[in-house]
Structure 1
Protein backbone atom coordinates (compact mmCIF):
# COMPACT_ATOMS: atom_id res chain seq x y z
CA UNK A 1 0.00 0.00 0.00
CA UNK A 2 1.49 3.38 -0.96
CA UNK A 3 1.97 5.95 1.78
CA UNK A 4 -0.82 8.49 2.29
CA UNK A 5 -0.44 11.64 0.24
CA UNK A 6 -1.35 15.23 0.95
CA UNK A 7 -3.90 16.13 -1.73
CA UNK A 8 -5.33 19.57 -2.54
CA UNK A 9 -8.67 19.90 -4.36
CA UNK A 10 -9.12 23.02 -6.47
CA UNK A 11 -11.92 25.36 -5.45
CA UNK A 12 -14.03 24.37 -8.48
CA UNK A 13 -14.23 20.73 -7.31
CA UNK A 14 -16.95 19.64 -4.90
CA UNK A 15 -15.33 19.19 -1.49
CA UNK A 16 -17.28 15.94 -1.00
CA UNK A 17 -14.93 14.26 -3.49
CA UNK A 18 -12.44 14.11 -0.60
CA UNK A 19 -14.58 11.41 1.08
CA UNK A 20 -13.87 9.15 -1.90
CA UNK A 21 -10.11 9.29 -1.32
CA UNK A 22 -9.70 7.56 2.05
CA UNK A 23 -6.18 7.02 3.24
CA UNK A 24 -5.02 10.41 1.98
CA UNK A 25 -4.98 13.79 3.71
CA UNK A 26 -7.29 15.80 1.45
CA UNK A 27 -7.89 19.53 1.83
CA UNK A 28 -9.62 22.06 -0.41
CA UNK A 29 -8.40 25.44 -1.62
CA UNK A 30 -11.10 27.22 0.48
CA UNK A 31 -10.08 25.23 3.59
CA UNK A 32 -6.53 26.51 3.09
CA UNK A 33 -7.85 30.09 2.67
CA UNK A 34 -6.32 30.23 -0.82
CA UNK A 35 -9.50 31.02 -2.76
CA UNK A 36 -8.86 33.58 -5.46
CA UNK A 37 -5.13 32.90 -5.79
CA UNK A 38 -3.97 32.91 -9.40
CA UNK A 39 -2.73 29.57 -10.78
CA UNK A 40 1.00 30.27 -10.39
CA UNK A 41 0.69 31.52 -6.82
CA UNK A 42 -1.68 28.67 -5.97
CA UNK A 43 0.68 26.02 -7.35
CA UNK A 44 3.63 27.55 -5.50
CA UNK A 45 1.72 27.58 -2.20
CA UNK A 46 0.37 24.09 -2.77
CA UNK A 47 3.79 22.66 -3.64
CA UNK A 48 5.08 23.71 -0.22
CA UNK A 49 2.45 21.66 1.63
CA UNK A 50 0.94 19.09 -0.74
CA UNK A 51 1.99 16.20 -2.96
CA UNK A 52 -0.87 16.37 -5.49
CA UNK A 53 -3.18 19.10 -6.82
CA UNK A 54 -6.48 17.99 -8.37
CA UNK A 55 -8.30 20.38 -10.70
CA UNK A 56 -10.75 20.50 -13.60
CA UNK A 57 -8.85 23.42 -15.20
CA UNK A 58 -7.85 22.01 -18.58
CA UNK A 59 -5.71 25.06 -19.37
CA UNK A 60 -3.49 24.85 -16.30
CA UNK A 61 -0.81 22.74 -17.98
CA UNK A 62 -0.64 25.18 -20.90
CA UNK A 63 -0.63 28.35 -18.77
CA UNK A 64 1.93 27.25 -16.18
CA UNK A 65 5.40 25.75 -16.49
CA UNK A 66 4.62 22.71 -14.35
CA UNK A 67 8.19 21.33 -14.16
CA UNK A 68 8.98 24.41 -12.04
CA UNK A 69 6.66 23.08 -9.31
CA UNK A 70 7.31 20.14 -7.00
CA UNK A 71 3.71 18.96 -7.08
CA UNK A 72 1.86 16.45 -9.24
CA UNK A 73 -1.26 17.71 -11.01
CA UNK A 74 -4.32 15.66 -11.91
CA UNK A 75 -6.75 17.24 -14.38
CA UNK A 76 -10.20 15.69 -14.23
CA UNK A 77 -12.39 15.60 -17.34
CA UNK A 78 -15.92 14.30 -16.90
CA UNK A 79 -19.22 15.08 -18.61
CA UNK A 80 -19.74 17.90 -16.10
CA UNK A 81 -17.95 19.13 -12.98
CA UNK A 82 -20.78 17.88 -10.79
CA UNK A 83 -19.83 15.45 -8.03
CA UNK A 84 -21.80 12.54 -9.53
CA UNK A 85 -19.81 12.78 -12.76
CA UNK A 86 -16.44 13.31 -11.04
CA UNK A 87 -17.01 10.25 -8.84
CA UNK A 88 -16.70 8.09 -11.96
CA UNK A 89 -13.03 9.10 -12.02
CA UNK A 90 -12.23 7.91 -8.47
CA UNK A 91 -10.66 4.60 -9.60
CA UNK A 92 -8.43 6.53 -12.04
CA UNK A 93 -7.57 9.07 -9.33
CA UNK A 94 -6.63 6.28 -6.92
CA UNK A 95 -4.42 4.70 -9.58
CA UNK A 96 -2.70 8.02 -10.33
CA UNK A 97 -2.11 8.61 -6.61
CA UNK A 98 -0.10 5.38 -6.39
CA UNK A 99 2.77 6.99 -8.29
CA UNK A 100 2.34 10.76 -8.59
CA UNK A 101 4.85 12.57 -10.79
CA UNK A 102 5.84 16.04 -9.62
CA UNK A 103 5.91 18.73 -12.28
CA UNK A 104 3.61 16.83 -14.63
CA UNK A 105 -0.11 17.15 -15.36
CA UNK A 106 -1.98 13.90 -15.93
CA UNK A 107 -5.42 14.14 -17.49
CA UNK A 108 -8.00 11.64 -16.28
CA UNK A 109 -11.09 11.23 -18.48
CA UNK A 110 -14.38 9.41 -18.14
CA UNK A 111 -14.55 6.92 -20.98
CA UNK A 112 -17.77 7.22 -22.97
Structure 2
Protein backbone atom coordinates (compact mmCIF):
# COMPACT_ATOMS: atom_id res chain seq x y z
CA UNK A 1 0.00 0.00 0.00
CA UNK A 2 1.45 3.38 -1.02
CA UNK A 3 1.02 6.52 1.01
CA UNK A 4 -0.46 9.40 -0.95
CA UNK A 5 1.29 12.70 -0.49
CA UNK A 6 0.11 16.20 -1.39
CA UNK A 7 0.96 16.94 -5.01
CA UNK A 8 1.89 13.30 -5.63
CA UNK A 9 0.58 13.33 -9.19
CA UNK A 10 2.56 16.48 -9.95
CA UNK A 11 5.76 15.07 -8.43
CA UNK A 12 5.30 11.77 -10.27
CA UNK A 13 4.78 13.62 -13.54
CA UNK A 14 7.88 15.78 -12.99
CA UNK A 15 10.07 12.82 -12.04
CA UNK A 16 8.81 10.90 -15.08
CA UNK A 17 9.58 13.83 -17.35
CA UNK A 18 13.03 14.32 -15.83
CA UNK A 19 13.90 10.64 -16.25
CA UNK A 20 14.89 11.30 -19.85
CA UNK A 21 18.31 12.92 -20.44
CA UNK A 22 17.11 14.75 -23.56
CA UNK A 23 14.32 16.41 -21.59
CA UNK A 24 16.79 17.40 -18.85
CA UNK A 25 19.03 18.93 -21.53
CA UNK A 26 16.05 20.81 -22.98
CA UNK A 27 15.37 22.31 -19.55
CA UNK A 28 19.04 23.30 -19.26
CA UNK A 29 18.93 24.98 -22.67
CA UNK A 30 15.72 26.82 -21.85
CA UNK A 31 17.17 27.96 -18.53
CA UNK A 32 20.21 29.34 -20.42
CA UNK A 33 18.18 31.06 -23.17
CA UNK A 34 15.14 32.17 -21.19
CA UNK A 35 12.90 31.03 -24.03
CA UNK A 36 13.39 29.32 -27.36
CA UNK A 37 11.56 27.69 -30.23
CA UNK A 38 11.63 23.95 -30.90
CA UNK A 39 13.68 24.66 -34.03
CA UNK A 40 16.31 26.58 -32.05
CA UNK A 41 16.46 23.83 -29.43
CA UNK A 42 16.71 21.07 -32.05
CA UNK A 43 19.73 22.83 -33.52
CA UNK A 44 21.55 22.23 -30.23
CA UNK A 45 20.59 18.58 -29.77
CA UNK A 46 21.30 15.37 -31.68
CA UNK A 47 17.55 14.77 -32.26
CA UNK A 48 15.04 15.97 -34.82
CA UNK A 49 12.75 18.97 -34.37
CA UNK A 50 9.81 16.55 -34.21
CA UNK A 51 11.48 14.67 -31.34
CA UNK A 52 12.12 17.97 -29.55
CA UNK A 53 8.44 18.90 -29.93
CA UNK A 54 7.41 15.55 -28.42
CA UNK A 55 9.82 16.00 -25.50
CA UNK A 56 8.56 19.55 -24.96
CA UNK A 57 4.98 18.23 -24.87
CA UNK A 58 5.96 15.85 -22.03
CA UNK A 59 7.66 18.72 -20.18
CA UNK A 60 4.58 20.90 -20.74
CA UNK A 61 2.23 18.20 -19.42
CA UNK A 62 4.43 17.90 -16.31
CA UNK A 63 4.19 21.67 -15.83
CA UNK A 64 7.91 22.17 -16.38
CA UNK A 65 7.66 24.41 -19.46
CA UNK A 66 5.11 26.78 -20.90
CA UNK A 67 4.44 27.44 -24.55
CA UNK A 68 3.39 30.80 -25.95
CA UNK A 69 2.61 31.68 -29.52
CA UNK A 70 4.39 34.72 -30.91
CA UNK A 71 3.28 35.19 -34.49
CA UNK A 72 3.88 31.87 -36.25
CA UNK A 73 6.38 30.68 -33.65
CA UNK A 74 5.78 28.76 -30.47
CA UNK A 75 8.28 29.77 -27.81
CA UNK A 76 8.97 27.63 -24.77
CA UNK A 77 10.16 28.75 -21.34
CA UNK A 78 10.85 27.01 -18.03
CA UNK A 79 8.10 27.06 -15.41
CA UNK A 80 9.87 26.61 -12.06
CA UNK A 81 6.81 25.94 -9.85
CA UNK A 82 6.65 22.20 -10.62
CA UNK A 83 10.39 21.87 -10.00
CA UNK A 84 10.00 23.74 -6.71
CA UNK A 85 7.23 21.38 -5.59
CA UNK A 86 9.34 18.35 -6.48
CA UNK A 87 12.43 19.78 -4.76
CA UNK A 88 10.39 20.44 -1.58
CA UNK A 89 9.08 16.85 -1.66
CA UNK A 90 12.62 15.49 -2.10
CA UNK A 91 13.92 17.67 0.76
CA UNK A 92 11.08 16.44 2.97
CA UNK A 93 11.85 12.83 2.08
CA UNK A 94 15.55 13.35 2.82
CA UNK A 95 14.71 14.98 6.14
CA UNK A 96 12.46 12.07 7.12
CA UNK A 97 15.25 9.58 6.31
CA UNK A 98 17.72 11.66 8.33
CA UNK A 99 15.34 11.51 11.32
CA UNK A 100 14.92 7.74 10.94
CA UNK A 101 18.64 7.12 10.66
CA UNK A 102 19.36 9.35 13.68
CA UNK A 103 16.82 7.34 15.70
CA UNK A 104 18.43 4.05 14.67
CA UNK A 105 21.83 5.47 15.63
CA UNK A 106 20.52 6.54 19.07
CA UNK A 107 19.01 3.09 19.66
CA UNK A 108 22.24 1.37 18.62
CA UNK A 109 24.36 3.63 20.82
CA UNK A 110 22.02 3.12 23.79
CA UNK A 111 22.17 -0.66 23.34
CA UNK A 112 25.95 -0.48 23.20
CA UNK A 113 26.02 1.47 26.48
CA UNK A 114 23.51 -0.74 28.34
CA UNK A 115 25.35 -3.82 29.70
CA UNK A 116 22.09 -5.26 31.10
CA UNK A 117 20.66 -5.55 27.62
CA UNK A 118 20.45 -9.29 26.67
CA UNK A 119 21.59 -8.36 23.16
CA UNK A 120 24.80 -6.85 24.56
CA UNK A 121 27.67 -9.37 24.58
CA UNK A 122 28.89 -8.43 28.06
Verify same fold: TM over 0.5. no
Q: TM range, normalised to the smaller chain?
A: under 0.3
**Superposition TM-score, scaled by structure 2 size:** 0.26
Structure having the higher helix fraction is 2
**Superposition TM-score, scaled by structure 1 size:** 0.27
Larger radius of gyration: 2
Structure having the higher strand fraction is 1
